[in-house]
Each structure stands twice: as structure tokens, then as C-alpha cells.
Structure 1
Amino acid sequence: MSEQVSKILNVVYTHNDFYILEKPAGLNFHSEEGPGFVVLAEQQLSQKLYGVHRLDKVTSGLIILARNKASAAAFTVMFTEHAINKFYLAISDAKPKKKQGWIKGDMAKSRRGSFKLLTSTLNPAITRFYSLSYKPGFRGYILKPYSGKTHQLRVALKSVGAAIFGDAMYSGTPSNRTYLHAYALSFLWQGEQIQLTLLPDSGDEYLALIKHQDFQAWQSPWQLDW
């Protein structure tokens, strides 16, 4: 991870109230062994920043950092009310029990920091997804979470028999990265519609998925029937 940590973080979008940056796969959101994503962003941009949501260490992609306390508070409300639409890309080399639809269920702690999906729905994790076969034995997935549970998408795909490629914690086939990427954001900020996509820049399987002709339907994910 040292090479990714040392490179300048990619600022995808700049607003007076917030930045949207790209988090590399393998970089902690919070500082642990070394400086985390937020600290590195603060150092690069020379200002105090506020995390309003997070991505797992293994996940790459778009993340919002607020530039002041007022916007941080507003984003916190928006995330709580699910007013920010997030879309993710994943890959699996396992055959899923279903190729699209809803995955719903409560989540409970399992072994070694992992989680599992339950059949109960008292406070469920809710995910909807579509998939496409882009080469024999591999499927790409586009997922929209309707809740914000820890490891939600990783557990969701595992629950339908399609553990994410490279996700060792959930028994995914070993790879050089975990194939989960925060691909797109869509939300309304003070009357302005913000819609962004960011293709993953690492992982040979992502490159193969993006080149497939059917991927064109996912280029504006907010236009899909969710």
C-alpha cells in the first residue's frame, strides 16, 4: 500500500462546502498503522476536513469530505435520510443464486470481524443490484444500498452465493485487490444536482468489465430502474 499512500489523492470534484475524492483500495479511512485517508486529504488540501461517510479499507472509489461543520452536519442528515444515492461496482467469479433483485435482512456479527445476513428484517440491510456476464465464469455487479450497514454489500453478495472476487474475509477467490468500488454519487445540494461517476483505475477484471458492450447501460447508473 506504500505506493498508493505516497501518491497524491485524486480530487474528483471541488465545491465551497465539500470535496469529493477518490479513495484508493487498501487505504484505511481513519489513521491506524499510518496516516489514514482523511489525514492525507487534510495534508494535501491544507485544511480541516470532516468525514461524513466511509469506505472499507479494501474498497476504492468516491467519498465526500465536508469542508466545514455546517456542511458536515447537513450531509449527516442527508445520509441518515438516504438522500444521497450511492452506486457500487463489484465482480465475482461465483455463480449467484439470482442475477438481479433485492437482498434484505438483518446483519449480525460473525467471526473475526465479519458479519452475516439473517432471515429476520427488524432493522434490515437493504440492497438492490443488477449483474451482467462479461466473460465466462465472471459477472459484474452494480449495487445500490438503501441502508448503510458495515460490510453491507460484501455480505449481500456473499449471501446470494457470489462472494466478491478478492474478498478474503468473505471467502472470495484470492486476487490482487478486492473488487468493490464506489462508482457513482447522485444527490441534491442546495438546489444543485450533483451526479458523478468514477471508473476504477486498478484491477484487470474491472478493465474487462468496462470494455464489455453491455456496460454502457451502467454509465449513468441513476437512470436505471431502482
Structure 2
Amino acid sequence: MTNITILYENNAFIIALKPSGVNFHSEKEAGFVVQTSQKTGIPLFPVHRLDKMTSGLVILAKSSEVAAQFGKMFENREIEKYYLAISMRKPKKKQGWVKADMGAARRGDYKLLPTMNNPAITQFISCALRTHERFFLIKPHTGKTHQIRVALKSLGSPCAGDERYAAAEEARKEDRGYLHAYALRFVFMGEPFSFVSPPNEGERFVSTECINQLKIWNKPWELF
């Protein structure tokens, strides 16, 4: 059983922390959702998902009705999400937007397309940490599969440890994939909620330089 932290719970939903390297849905073994249900003793309904390499904040509903409510909120872009990433490559630009349609590439990868029919929209700022490390604070305005990972690759700065979108040999030397779901902000049933959870696994994420920068980025919604 994976060590899963429940950050918040009420009668409608819970906020749990997904560790890096754990499948969201069950494959050969119980995934994050099933393990969290087992930990809480109640059935839980996912309303969004994180890739296996990604750690951080996840909303899990306690009923299908609440899950449907959150589904509509995501669809209407009423839930703000903020992510952290570290790359070992300098980006083409230090802040701004990545906007483009996404399409399937080889081996289950995705890529940006030269069209804007239904674009993935990603906003970001960044700063330097230690030698070669670039630290990103990212606000996705849409929720497409691999959106942030593809956006960072398009900037020439794939996530460190991302065996799919970074150089595989280099990525395998890392202790994790460096993408973390850092903060959530939304209004549910008239009540405002905000959650911020810094990463606690991965040598690069727990460096003194990273921790100090997160003191500056502790209210990410004020930076966009």
C-alpha cells in the first residue's frame, strides 16, 4: 500500500496527495484512486487525473453527483490549477504562453500542431535554481492529456525525469519525473477553497533553493 496523505475532507469530497510513480487508475496493481478508497473506507470518484510520474493534489468526490458537479466546473474552467516543474534545459522564453492544438504522435506521445481549432492553453513563469535547473510555475487553462509535459518540451525544456518527452537516458538518471500538482482554487456550493501543497519527494524539489523559491510562490494565483 502506497503512503497516501489526505489533506482535507468534508461530506462531499476529499483532497488527497498522489505520490510520484503511482498509477492513477488500477493496472496490474491497485491504483491511486482504489488505494485512497481503501484508506478512507468509502468509494471515491475521480474528477480529474494525474499522470503516473506526477505527484500532488487530487480532488476525489464522495458521490457520482458531486463528481458530475466538479466535472462541469472543470469544463467551465472554474477550477484553477497550478503545477511545478523542473527542467535541466533553458527554455526558449522565460515566461508567457503556449497555445496550440494537440494531436497524437508515436508510441502514445502527443505533440503540438500548427493549428488553433481547440487549443491547449498553458501559461507559465520560471526562474533559475541550481546549475542548469530551471524552475517553472505553470497554470494550465485547459486540461488535455500530457498538456504541460508537451508544452515544456515545445519550449526546449522538458521535465527532468520525463522518460517520454525528455532524452530517455538522461531522464532515467533522475529519481522521479519532476512535475507536481501544487495548488488548487475553486468555489464549491458557494464556499471558496484553496489548497497549496509543496512537493516532498525528489532531490531537486526538496533542495534549499527550491524551498526558498516556493516561499515567494506560496500564493500562485497572485502571480498570473
- Shared topology, TM-score over 0.5? yes
Query: Which residue matches 2:115?
Result: 120
Query: Which residue matches 2:200?
Result: 201
Query: Which residue matches 1:185?
Result: 184
Q: Does 1:62 align with 2:57?
A: yes
Query: Which residue matches 2:214?
Result: 215
Q: What SS does the aligned partner of 1:21 have?
A: strand
1:28-43 matches, within 5 Å, as 28-43=23-38
Match of 1:73 among 49, 68, 92: 68
| Structure 1 unmatched ranges of 5 or more | 1-5
TM-score, length basis structure 2: 0.95
Q: Does 1:51 align with 2:46?
A: yes
Write out the 4+ residue segments of structure 1 that deviate beyond 3 Å after TM superposition: none
Distance 2:3 2:163 in 1: 28
TM-score, length basis structure 1: 0.94
Distance 2:206 2:4 in 1: 21
| Contact preservation (8 Å) 1:8, 1:44 | no
1:43-192 matches, within 5 Å, as 43-172=38-167, 173-174=170-171, 175-192=174-191
> 1:83 Cα shift?
0.4
Distance 1:7 1:73 in 2: 27
Query: Which residue matches 1:12?
Result: 7
Distance 2:84 2:211 in 1: 14
Distance 2:131 2:8 in 1: 36
> 1:119 Cα shift?
2.1
Comparing 171-180 and 95-104, the one that deviates more: 171-180
| Contact preservation (8 Å) 2:198, 2:214 | no
Percent of aligned pairs with the same amino acid: 47
| Structure 2 unmatched ranges of 5 or more | none
Distance 1:106 1:22 in 2: 30
Query: Counterpart amino acid of 1:215?
Result: L
Count of residues paired in the alignment:
219
> 1:136 Cα shift?
2.1
Query: Counterpart amino acid of 1:64?
Result: I
Distance 1:186 1:99 in 2: 25
Distance 2:166 2:132 in 1: 17
> 1:9 Cα shift?
1.2
Q: What SS does the aligned partner of 2:204 have?
A: helix
| CA deviation string 1:59-86 (max 9, x = no partner) | 0000000001221111010011110000
| Contact preservation (8 Å) 1:18, 1:65 | yes
Distance 1:181 1:86 in 2: 11
Query: Counterpart amino acid of 1:157?
Result: L
Distance 2:55 2:28 in 1: 18
Comparing 34-43 and 200-209, the one that deviates more: 200-209
> 1:191 Cα shift?
1.5
| CA deviation string 1:48-68 (max 9, x = no partner) | 111100000110000000001
Distance 1:219 1:13 in 2: 18
Distance 1:167 1:93 in 2: 11
